[in-house]
Amino acid sequence: MGKTDIGPPEQPGRRRGAWARGYELLAGLELAFALMVLLGVLVALRALVAQRDMGLRQANAFIRWATSLSPEDPSTLVWPTVAVLALFVVNLALSSVEMTRKALLKVRALTAPRPVARFPAVTVKEGLEGGEDAGDRVERFLRARGWRVRRQDAGGEVRISGTRRERGHWGTLLFHLSFFVILAGAAVSLLTSFTGYFELAPGESFVERSEAYLRRTDTPLLFPGDRGFRVELEKMDLTFWPEGGVRDRASWIRLHDAAGVLRARARLAVNSPVSFDGITLYQASKEGFIAGITVKDSAGTTSRGILHFPFPVHPGDPMQTTVQLPGTALVLAFELHTGLLARIANLTGERHEVSLMKVFEHRGPRSRPLGVVFGGGEVSFEGLTLSFDSLKPYMSFAVVQDHGVPVIFAALAFALAALLALYFWVPETMWAVAAPAAGGGVRVLVAGSTERYENAFEARFREMLSELRAELARR
């Protein structure tokens, strides 16, 4: 069986120049295939880097060996990836020109009725016998089975073409064009994306300015200015499952625009971000308690700091953190116990307002206890005095701006639709010519062709031809 010929015939004796050969190479499917292999290998190496960094638990020798293939410095993958992607874009652009040409040729040239001498290379071809009205019968037969039929009466012959799913010819081109839109979206994302993080305790506000963020990415080239909106944390919403484990963590916030007008009161949670004025506000992953401490040595040198204690997974678990005192090798571990957690999480049972920290000298698995300090109090050890000055809960938030994302997702949706068309809206074409036979009667030559799944098409087409044969033989 063969595919339908759609390209112009090569002129014999004409040698292709270097430019033409280069164009063919750059636009070719073989190059696309090779680039996909390279991209797949680069992505696999990146996966191995992530595996190595995250650690393997009791992995077998093969997995350890495979992971060891990853480069020590992941940045070594950047330039090869950029080079492959650049070549990919060139290949995509040039091959899109070819795909457009082929699609136009298929749509225009293949759907018209044609004489037998101009039947293209086809999947199936068969001859049938019929009466004088064979052409009419073939036309009715095909229409009844959902084919789009075109007819031409010429020189005593009835020439018929039938098509199904004609628009499927554009599937390949549209799928590949969507990659350009994705790349355009990625470019927009590169120019406009920005992420900043801030923390708030209940009752506190954050006024959006680039220097107000705790951490932030570089200022984007487009839409770089401060927005000046204000986020106020009204209340924290933290719940645990009865058997333990965090059930929900969320924040009730009020959003005011730059003029101070209240624009929204919303519940911000994991999986429930809030969009506002071109940015999206997310509930970030860090929340817990911030303890303010002061450390004084015997010489009177004072150092103030804050400790972050993440909320526990189970409400009864201690909250822990470690810190190295500046200018010393002393690492202190802290364990926080506070009744505030029960209040925030609306836990039942006995509640109290006491907060205390247990202080340890951190020495790996064997830590040495140094003392206990209550909120507002102080504890002394090894010539140092540590005071527990303040304690407040906090939630962290992320502000994200990225105007490329909607473009990318629109392109992805388009690509999926094109893929569905490409593989499940496969065009089928058939031609028939009914002409008087030399010995009387009418001979009908029928041929059929498809873009894909030729074998299954051949089986179905032959079944259809059997039915057509029976129809033509019917009196």
Partner 1 sequence: MADKVLLFVVIGCYVASTVLFAGLTLSDRRGLRRGALAVATLGLGLHAVAIGIRWAAAGHGPYINTYEVLSSNAWVLVLAFLLLQLRYGWVTSLGPLVMAVAFLMLGAGLMGSEEVKRLPPTLQSSWLIVHILFAKLMVTSIALASGIGIVFLIKERRREQPAWLARMPAPAVLDDYGYRLVAFAFITLSCMIIAGAIWANASWGSYWSWDPTETWSLVVWFVYGLYLHGRVTFRWRGRISAWFVVISFCLLLVAFFVLPYFVRGQHSQYMTG
Binding residues for partner 1, rule: CB under 8 A, are 29-30, 32-33, 36-37, 39-40, 43-44, 46-47, 49-51, 54-60, 63, 195, 241, 243, 245-249, 269-273, 282, 284-285, 398, 400, 405, 409, 412, 415-416, 419-420, 422-424, 452-456, 459
Distance of alpha carbon 32 from alpha carbon 36, whole angstroms = 6
Nearest to 246 by CA among 338, 341, 335, 161: 341
Distance of closest approach, residue 416 Cβ to partner 1, in angstroms: 6
> Which residue lies nearer to partner 1 by CB, 444 or 465?
465
> Which residue lies nearer to partner 1 by CB, 43 or 69?
43
Distance of closest approach, residue 454 Cβ to partner 1, in angstroms: 7
Q: Say if CB 294 and CB 387 are below 8 A apart.
A: yes
Distance of alpha carbon 383 from alpha carbon 92, whole angstroms = 70
C-alpha dihedral sign at 344, 350, 352, 355: negative
> Which residue lies nearer to partner 1 by CB, 286 or 392?
286
> Which residue lies nearer to partner 1 by CB, 330 or 417?
417
SS3 109: helix
Distance of closest approach, residue 178 Cβ to partner 1, in angstroms: 11
> Which residue lies nearer to partner 1 by CB, 190 or 262?
190
79-84 long-range contacts, CB within 8 A, separation 24+: 80/38, 80/42, 81/39, 81/42, 84/35, 84/38, 84/39, 84/42
Distance of closest approach, residue 314 Cβ to partner 1, in angstroms: 12
> Which residue lies nearer to partner 1 by CB, 201 or 269?
269
Distance of closest approach, residue 198 Cβ to partner 1, in angstroms: 13
Nearest to 285 by CA among 197, 224, 205, 184: 197
SS3 370: strand
Distance of closest approach, residue 64 Cβ to partner 1, in angstroms: 9
> Which residue lies nearer to partner 1 by CB, 26 or 412?
412
Q: Say if CB 389 and CB 378 are below 8 A apart.
A: no
> Which residue lies nearer to partner 1 by CB, 138 or 319?
319
> Which residue lies nearer to partner 1 by CB, 264 or 437?
264
Phi first, then psi, for residue 121 (nearest 5°) are -65, 125
Q: Which residue type sits at 407?
A: V
> Which residue lies nearer to partner 1 by CB, 177 or 391?
177
Which class for 116: exposed (0-12), middle (13-18), buried (19 or more C-beta within 10 A)? middle
Reported as half-sphere exposure (CB side, CA atoms, 13 A), residue 101 has a value of 10
Distance of closest approach, residue 39 Cβ to partner 1, in angstroms: 6
Q: Say if CB 433 and CB 235 are below 8 A apart.
A: no
Distance of closest approach, residue 55 Cβ to partner 1, in angstroms: 6
Q: Say if CB 282 and CB 275 are below 8 A apart.
A: no
Distance of CA 452 to the CA centre of its chain: 28
Reported as half-sphere exposure (CB side, CA atoms, 13 A), residue 109 has a value of 14
Distance of alpha carbon 113 from alpha carbon 430, whole angstroms = 9
Distance of closest approach, residue 24 Cβ to partner 1, in angstroms: 13
Distance of closest approach, residue 205 Cβ to partner 1, in angstroms: 22
Distance of closest approach, residue 445 Cβ to partner 1, in angstroms: 24
> Which residue lies nearer to partner 1 by CB, 165 or 358?
165
Q: Say if CB 359 and CB 381 are below 8 A apart.
A: yes
Phi first, then psi, for residue 122 (nearest 5°) are -125, 170
Distance of alpha carbon 102 from alpha carbon 96, whole angstroms = 10
